Amino acid sequence: MRRVTLLGATGSVGSSAVEVLQEGRERFAVHAVTANSDAAALAGIARRLRAERAVVADPAALAALRDALAGTGIEAAAGASAMQEAAGERVDVVLSAIVGAAGLAPTAAAVRAGSTIALANKECLVCAGPAFMALARRHGARILPVDSEHNALFQLIEGRDADEVSRFTITASGGPFRTWSAERLRRATPEEALAHPTWSMGPKISIDSATMMNKGLELIEAHHLFGLSPDRLDVLVHPQSIVHGLITFRDGSVHAEIGLADMKRPVSYCLNWPARGGCAARHLDLAAIGALTFERPDEARFPALALARSAMVHGSGAPTVLNAANELAVSAFLARRIPFTAIPETVARSLTEADRAGLLTEPETVEEAIGLDAAARDLAAQAVDNLAAIAS
Ligand code: NDP
């Protein structure tokens, strides 16, 4: 039996993981499942997976969690230290699927315990890339990428010499606004931005897909995960989301990983690694798909991608500030405080202010990255207020 902990069990990736774990219940034993505040959903998952422990980050949700688990023998807990404790218990695999920078501390606790990390929470690498990877090396914790594009690259280079690869390409669907004009983008609503054409995902990453910030965050993720210089990383827009990643060898040969847009596939890959488990991800019928198309990203209409790329090249805390400002801006857009095009504008202003305030230095530890994230949020809140005032 493989012992597994599921951080962010109630989310979109979490739901894929619940299905994979249920299908493979003879191979997996679940230690802990966690959520932020959705006690009812978490209790349902804990029962279905026969978890030992269920933890909510929000202490106000503990009473509801206890009630929902009464008589099951499943332990209920709440709060930041309970999350750390659950994540920090050594198991075979911890699936890190909390959304945002909130995932840093629990995932770092899992790394310190030396558990293998199936990493969906890209913010660990975006906000604290060098510190997080150094921590993993120090504690002998293996990082397996769940993000579909990185999972594709991981599968493609497994057992190969990465030095033989000249280019690593991740694909982007282009999001719901791929063909929209700059003028139309200014008037985009949260409902329109949330309607992703190919993937079903949580709200934060759906908005990031619409701005293409998600692909920028993924470049930074790949940079740290695989230790690649920025000039070896590329983005290709591929609206069908069938090809997830490609590697170009020195001799010009290109290998691609392809499959339907279903997170159960990379989740199953990471939970079963190095074996391959059977999973109920839908199978690909290329004849039914017919055509696969590719185009270059348009960084004039989607400036978030260029912002993320330059933060990656700059390093020294710029990706941490970029991510924090983007999280705040996405929330403000969803709350209808700022227009869609003010999201990258908030990020750009926050980076300028952070530079001016002397904040752009590389976080040496995950804790320093969490500190920089907090400082960047203060700057971003100011930028959001100013942009909201202009918009009203
Ligand atoms: P969701 O918003 O669907 O789910 C987020 C999960 O995190 C929920 O379980 C939520 O609990 C929990 N959570 C939220 N805030 C906190 C907090 N402060 N402390 C502890 N737990 C918290 O997100 P996704 O599943 O879409 O994404 C999760 C991560 O995976 C992100 O980093 C994303 O970029 C990455 N990813 C997602 C993909 C996808 O297809 N969705 C694909 C590849 C990567 P509650 O339900 O109680 O709010």
pLDDT in tens, 51-98: 999 999 999 999 999 999 999 999 999 999 999 999 999 999 999 999
What pLDDT does residue 283 have?
A: 84
Q: Considering only CA atoms, which of 243, 233, 237, 212 is closest in space to residue 294?
A: 237
CATH 3.40.50.720 segments of the chain = 2-146
Architecture of domain 2-146: 3-Layer(aba) Sandwich (3.40)
Query: How would DSSP label each residue in 192-226?
Result: HHH--SS----HHHHHHHHHTHHHHHHHHHHHHHT
Nearest CA to ligand 1 atom 36: 120
Give tens-digit pLDDT for 181-202: 999 999 999 999 999 998 889 9
The residue written with tokens 């230290």 in the block is: 81
What pLDDT does residue 392 have?
A: 87
What pLDDT does residue 280 have?
A: 65
Q: What is the pTM of this model?
A: 0.97
CATH 1.10.1740.10 segments of the chain = 315-391
| Distance from Cα 30 to the centre of ligand 1, integer Å | 19
Cis, bond preceding 145 (omega within 30 deg of 0): no
Angle at 166 between CA 164 and CA 167, to 5 degrees: 130
**Is 147 close to ligand 1, i.e. is its CB under 6 Å away?**
yes
Nearest CA to ligand 1 atom 31: 99
Please measure the distance between the N-terminal and C-terminal CA atoms of the chain and give it in whole angstroms: 57
Q: Which two tokens stand for residue 370?
A: 């969490």
Ligand 1: atom nearest CA of 122 is 32
- The CATH code of domain 315-391 reads 1.10.1740.10
| Distance from Cα 9 to the centre of ligand 1, integer Å | 8
Neighbours of 175 (CB within 10 A): 26
| Distance from Cα 78 to the centre of ligand 1, integer Å | 17
| Distance from Cα 7 to the centre of ligand 1, integer Å | 9
* pLDDT < 70 positions in the chain: 280-281
| Distance from Cα 370 to the centre of ligand 1, integer Å | 18
**Is 323 close to ligand 1, i.e. is its CB under 6 Å away?**
no
**Is 297 close to ligand 1, i.e. is its CB under 6 Å away?**
no
Sheet holding 2-7, edge to edge: 75-78, 53-56, 28-35, 2-7, 93-96, 116-119, 143-145
- Distance set, CA 90 to CA 85, 116, 270, 281 (Å): 10, 9, 17, 29
